[in-house]
């Protein structure tokens, strides 16, 4: 079984979920997406840009800072 690594933002989300006694499913329901898609975001398989601010607001955490792309 392959375990995907969690991104730094994903780790913060998971900690906040534990603190708030929420599940990824309840977060997904609030965002209007599937729990699987939340997992994809937390492991970096999908770009969280569309949902990151709403996730941070729901969980009362700081959104990640945008990374600068080098040319």
pLDDT band at 71 (very low <50, low <70, confident <90, very high): very low
Query: 65 and 49 in contact (C-beta within 8 Å)?
Result: no
pLDDT for the residue 4: 79
Can you give the pTM of this predicted structure?
Answer: 0.83
Q: Write down the domain spans for the chain.
A: 8-59
Gap between the Cα atoms of 2 and 59, Å rounded: 28
Residue with structure tokens 């929420």? 22
- Which tokens in the block code for residue 19? 């603190």
Residue range 13-62, pLDDT digits in tens: 999 999 999 999 999 999 999 999 999 999 999 988 899 999 999 999 99
The phi and psi torsions of 35 (rounded to 5 degrees) equal -60, -35
Gap between the Cα atoms of 4 and 22, Å rounded: 21
């Amino acid at each position: 079984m392959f375990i995907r690594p969690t991104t730094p933002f994903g780790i913060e989300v998971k900690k906040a979920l534990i603190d708030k006694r929420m599940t990824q499913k309840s977060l997904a329901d609030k965002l209007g997406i599937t729990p699987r898609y939340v997992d994809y975001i937390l492991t970096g398989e999908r770009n969280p840009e569309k949902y990151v601010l709403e996730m941070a607001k729901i969980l009362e955490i700081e959104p990640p800072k945008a990374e600068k792309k080098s040319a």
